[in-house]
Amino acid sequence: MRIALDAMGTDGAPAVEVAGALGALEELDPEHEIVLVGDRQILEAELARHENPPLSRLTIHHAPDRVLPGEKAASVVRKKPDSSIVVALRLQQEGEVDAVVSAGSTGAIMAASLIILRALEGVDRPAVGTLLPTAAKPVLLLDAGANVDCKPLHLAQFAHLGHIYAQDLMGVKHPRIGLLNIGEEPEKGDEVALETHHLLAADRTLNFVGNIEGREIIRGKCDVLVADGFVGNVLLKFYESVAQFVIGLLEGALRDAQMTLDLDRLLGVLDYSEYGGAPLLGVNGVSIVCHGGSPPKAIRNAIGVAAQAVRSDMVTHIARELAALKTARAAG
């Protein structure tokens, strides 16, 4: 297995990416390789700062250009053909690598993945899945930001994408699918939520557990939470900031009391980097998106997620599920 890592994506590129890749290689099977995609000269200089990097498993693929913040996502493939994101995705499309990990702009990765890898048949809109930390195991929220103005059929497809992801990567046999809504009752919500509830409730292939209210999101009632990308994105960003806010209050309280407390476990539960990146689900390939502010640990874990997606043959499973769904729709 070979995984391409866009080495120019994080705020601390390429040092963060190289450190993350080296960490990942220690955990991956010995026959697995990582391809660093970026400017060869810069990457060679960065690698030289590490002692004895395992160069047989960590190669460089030259990509002289990079996508800059604020660039229009839709035109990245056309305008930046030699950028690290685009080159990495082309390597996957050509079969040179099995997966891509990037901490570049989500919009650019999404747009380039769609153009280069293409959407799987039966998927109108690929979705970004994100794991939200909870007291128990994390919940997969999708879509977390790529798709706004979703129609009920799109949300129903998200449910199936999440279903497979939860089976293949979260180890959940019968994933409980929830629909984000403003009330528990089926008749609650806006027009899209009402119709989506109806679709999901009628779908015998899913373990649909009904509507999930805001207060239930992190209370372990579902494994997969389906939402429009607008509210999904707002929620995800809000969650990060609320956790930071409350921890800040706590640190102030500890300081005032002249106390010290080891917050590692506390912060560990809320640490997004534990979960690695967010998968782009529904494209014909493995494309994992990381936060631009990712530390090496997040990159390492995202590479682990990518490897697991390849190992479990997630894309084939998704393709099979979506094809069956399409057949069922056409028949019913």
Residues that bind a copy of itself (CB under 8 A): 134-135, 145, 148-149, 180, 182, 189-191, 193, 213-219, 228-231, 233-243, 245-250, 252-254, 256-257, 259, 261-263, 265-266, 269-270
User: Residues 27, 57: contact at Cβ < 8 Å?
Assistant: no
Closest separation between CB of residue 112 and a copy of itself, Å? 19
- Cβ nearer to a copy of itself, comparing 105 with 284: 105
> 290 or 303: whose CB is closer to a copy of itself?
290
CB 232 to a copy of itself: min, Å: 9
Of 79 and 237, the one with the shorter C-beta distance to a copy of itself is 237
Q: Give min distance, CB of 100 to a copy of itself, in A.
A: 24
* Minimum separation from the CB atom of position 132 to a copy of itself (A): 10
Let me know if 98 is exposed, middle or buried by CB neighbors in 10 A (0-12, 13-18, 19+).
buried
Report the chain's terminal Cα–Cα distance, integer Å. 40
Strands of the chain, DSSP E: 2-6, 33-38, 58-62, 99-102, 127-132, 139-142, 176-180, 207-212, 224-226, 278-281, 287-289
Could you tell me the smallest distance in angstroms from the CB atom of residue 1 to a copy of itself?
A: 34
C-beta of 237 vs 329, nearer to a copy of itself: 237
Pairing status of strand 127-132 against strand 278-281: antiparallel
Closer to a copy of itself at the Cβ: 114 or 193? 193
The token pair that represents 153 in the structure block: 């059929």
